[in-house]
């Protein structure tokens, strides 16, 4: 590590010592746990980000400080690779090793080993762009991160308080600046212009869009959506709710995409706001998830989740590809996870190829890259659409032979600008949904009737060691604890249309249980019975066994 001043690193590392009793893990979406325990992790992530950039010849790496849908007291950090995608999987392991070195000496030793093993040329430049969401713990964590960046001598750019998808956008825009693949101007302004210009072109000539309510989860989506409103002008009336970003305890509390998806009901704060027939959507704490819903004429709540978004968007894109005369050159496919409602998978599989992968954007993103146009959405509302370089080239060079083909082609090109292809982006996805609804003249009711969801239930089980639960077959089956899967199979057989699976969360200290069945009461019962099995198997204290577990 001759190019670095070890003494400087040592001094700074001493100031950010690791709490001895804690173990950190780079999980589904980076490190994520209580915000007030993450000081040492942020410092070390700063160093790691700098080294990742050096390893990639000075390309800019992104660092996002957020815990997304988690409660306000949690925080987290994840790294973004140069094309705006999630950190390469092998480096997740390096991140975990470095974060857990007990002392400064252990850390310096692990760092030295790492630099040599991964063959990092320390004389290379190092560039990092970072941002945070609105969590109160974010301020101190950014300062720990900055110390890490300073220690490694990285050229650092502070993108301030912004959404996760904007940070991903910035990383790609910075790294493609001045090239023919330029992703856009590397500023928030560039992002807003790109989205709003393409949106306006896509809805031009369609009937006026009716007002849409946005639940901003009292998070960073609020100020960012407020800026977007200015760029969108009169093209779409947006009503922003749950915008209290400075009220302590408000973030994701009884609002936001995760609340709506898990509780399958309206955030209480919208009860007086939403009118029968009106559409609304919820963002999560860092605005990378989107959940739509509406009240029907009788005031009943209906939810349109990530699966419904995938169905709406995939069908629209398939139609455009056909209309543009590109059916034989551009193949569209969909990627889902085990959480996808069985009815959505049946609906989609009749129309186009569908693949199931483990939870986590990185898995979906990579699988979607195998299609010319890959649509991926998790049921929780996380997703986007990827246009392969080959598909983008075809769209750029195709000579339409009729006016109808030309229109469809233009729409597809505009979609490549509207959609944030680096990662799931609630605001970009929201505009995408609005485009499709405007083109199809769909209300929420018509969109919802594409297929009927199978009743389902998601339950969290708190266990002492979630790592004891290991899965296979895209998380649809457990391989440990041994014998538990057989018990689940036995239970599932008793329910009409029953399906259930169990997997450890990568973002919260819990095991998740999903169940679906033909009837709602049966889906609930199956989920609670499986949750009971999980709790008992994990040695849960009988006196604290949640009473709903059967
Ligand atoms: C993150 C990931 C998502 C994943 C979610 C829940 O979302 O990016 O891909 O679906 O966590 O993961 P788990 O069930 O493993 O806890 P977010 O919005 O929290 O960043």
CATH number of residue 539's parent domain: 3.30.310.50
- 257, part of any domain: yes
- 166, part of any domain: no
Q: What is the pLDDT of residue 102?
A: 97
107 C-alpha to ligand 1 centroid (Å): 29
Q: What is the pLDDT of residue 509?
A: 86
Q: In terms of C-beta distances under 8 Å and separation of at least 24 residues, what long-range contacts does 85-88 make, across chains too? A: 85/168, 85/362, 85/365, 85/422, 85/423, 86/361, 86/362, 86/365, 86/423, 87/26, 87/30, 87/52, 87/362
Mapped to the 3 state alphabet, what secondary structure does 419-459 carry? CCCCCCCHHHHHHHHHHHHHHHCCCHHHHHCCCCCCCEEEE
What is the pairing mode between strands 373-377 and 332-336? parallel
Which of 29, 336, 358, 501 has the most ligand 1 atoms within 8 A of CB, as the residue to mutate?
29
Two structure tokens written together for 295: 């009240």
What's the structural domain count of the chain? 4
Q: Tell me, yes or no, whether 438 and 471 share the same domain.
A: no
Give the sign of the dihedral formed by CA 211, CA 216, CA 221, CA 226: positive
The CATH code of the domain that includes 283 is 3.40.120.10
Tokens 């400080």, residue located: 65
Which of 284, 506, 513 has the most ligand 1 atoms within 8 A of CB, as the residue to mutate?
506
**Nearest CA to 507 among 41, 31, 23?**
31
Assess whether 302 carries a catalytic annotation.
Answer: no
66 C-alpha to ligand 1 centroid (Å): 12
- 549, part of any domain: no
Residue 68, annotated as binding a ligand: yes
Q: Tell me, yes or no, whether 475 and 360 share the same domain.
A: no
pTM above 0.75, yes or no: yes
Give the sign of the dihedral formed by CA 428, CA 433, CA 438, CA 444: negative
Q: Which residues line ligand 1 (CB under 6 A)?
A: 28-29, 68-69, 284, 288-289, 359-361, 378, 380, 382, 505-508, 512
38, HSE (Cβ side, Cα atoms, 13 Å): 29
Domain that holds residue 467: 456-544
- 171, part of any domain: no
Two structure tokens written together for 536: 């008992």
Residue 217, annotated as binding a ligand: no
Cβ atoms within 10 Å of 139's Cβ, excluding its own: 11
Low-confidence stretches of the chain (pLDDT < 50) are 2
Q: What is the pLDDT of residues 170-212, one digit of tens each?
A: 999 999 999 999 999 999 999 999 999 999 999 999 999 999 9
Q: Tell me, yes or no, whether 350 and 473 share the same domain.
A: no
Rounded distance between C-alpha atoms, residue 385 and residue 368, angstroms: 8
- 56, part of any domain: yes
Enumerate residues 6+ apart whose C-beta is below 8 A from 406: 400
Tokens 């609930």, residue located: 524
Two structure tokens written together for 50: 């700098």
Residue 504, annotated as binding a ligand: yes
Give the residue, by CA position, lying nearest to ligand 1 atom 6. 507
Q: Tell me, yes or no, whether 146 and 236 share the same domain.
A: no
Q: What is the pLDDT of residue 28?
A: 86
Atom of ligand 1 nearest to the CA of 27: 15
Catalytic residue, chosen from 68, 126, 144, 196, is 68
Q: Tell me, yes or no, whether 90 and 224 share the same domain.
A: no
Q: What is the pLDDT of residue 341?
A: 98
Question: Where is the domain boundary, 304, 332, 352?
Answer: 304
Q: Tell me, yes or no, whether 310 and 403 share the same domain.
A: yes
């Amino acid at each position: 590590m001759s190019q670095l001043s070890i003494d400087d690193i040592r001094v700074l590392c001493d100031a950010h010592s690791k709490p001895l009793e804690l173990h950190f893990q780079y999980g589904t979406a980076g490190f994520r746990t209580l915000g007030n325990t993450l000081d040492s992790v942020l410092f070390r992530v700063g160093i790691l980000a700098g080294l990742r950039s050096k390893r990639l010849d000075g390309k800019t790496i992104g660092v996002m400080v957020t815990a997304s849908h988690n409660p306000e007291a949690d925080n987290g950090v994840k790294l973004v690779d140069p094309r705006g995608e999630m950190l390469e999987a092998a480096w997740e392991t390096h991140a975990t090793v470095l974060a857990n070195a007990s002392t400064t000496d252990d850390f310096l030793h692990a760092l030295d080993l790492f630099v040599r093993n991964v063959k990092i040329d320390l004389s290379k430049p190092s560039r990092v762009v970072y941002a945070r969401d609105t969590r109160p713990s974010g301020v101190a964590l950014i300062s720990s991160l900055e110390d890490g960046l300073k220690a490694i001598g990285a050229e650092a750019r502070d993108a301030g308080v912004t959404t996760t998808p904007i940070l991903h956008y910035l990383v790609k825009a910075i790294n493609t600046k001045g090239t023919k693949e330029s992703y856009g101007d590397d500023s928030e302004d560039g992002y807003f212009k790109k989205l709003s210009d393409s949106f306006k072109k896509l809805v031009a000539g369609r009937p006026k869009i009716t007002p849409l309510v946005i639940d901003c989860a009292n998070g960073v989506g609020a100020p960012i959506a407020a800026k977007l409103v200015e760029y969108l002008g009169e093209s779409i009336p947006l009503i922003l709710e749950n915008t209290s970003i400075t009220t302590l305890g408000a973030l994701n509390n009884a609002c936001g995409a995760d609340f709506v998806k898990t509780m399958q009901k309206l955030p209480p704060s919208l009860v007086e706001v939403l009118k029968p027939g009106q559409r609304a959507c919820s963002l999560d704490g860092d605005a990378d998830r989107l959940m739509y819903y509406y009240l029907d004429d009788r005031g009943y709540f209906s939810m349109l989740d990530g699966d419904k978004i995938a169905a709406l968007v995939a069908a629209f894109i398939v139609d455009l590809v056909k209309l543009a005369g590109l059916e034989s050159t551009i193949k569209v496919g969909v990627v889902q996870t085990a959480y996808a409602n069985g009815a959505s998978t049946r609906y989609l599989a009749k129309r186009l190829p569908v693949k199931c992968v483990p939870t986590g954007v990185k898995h979906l993103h990579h699988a979607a890259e195998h299609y010319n146009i890959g649509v991926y959405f998790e049921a929780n509302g996380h997703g986007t659409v990827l246009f392969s370089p080959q598909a983008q080239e075809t769209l750029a060079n195709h000579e339409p032979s009729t006016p109808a083909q030309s229109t469809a082609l233009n729409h597809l090109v505009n979609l490549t600008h509207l959609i944030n292809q680096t990662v799931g982006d609630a605001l970009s996805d929201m505009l995408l949904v609005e485009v499709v609804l405007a083109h199809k003249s769909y209300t929420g009711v018509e969109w919802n009737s594409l297929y009927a969801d199978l009743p389902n239930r998601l339950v969290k089980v708190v266990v002492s060691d979630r790592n004891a639960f290991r899965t296979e077959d895209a998380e649809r089956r457990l391989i440990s604890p041994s014998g538990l899967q057989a018990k689940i199979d036995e239970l599932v057989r008793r329910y009409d249309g029953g399906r259930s699976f169990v997997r450890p969360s990568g973002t919260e200290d819990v095991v998740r249980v999903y169940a679906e069945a033909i009837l709602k009461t049966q889906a609930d019962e199956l989920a609670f019975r499986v949750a009971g099995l999980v709790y008992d198997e994990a040695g849960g204290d009988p006196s604290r066994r949640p009473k709903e577990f059967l």
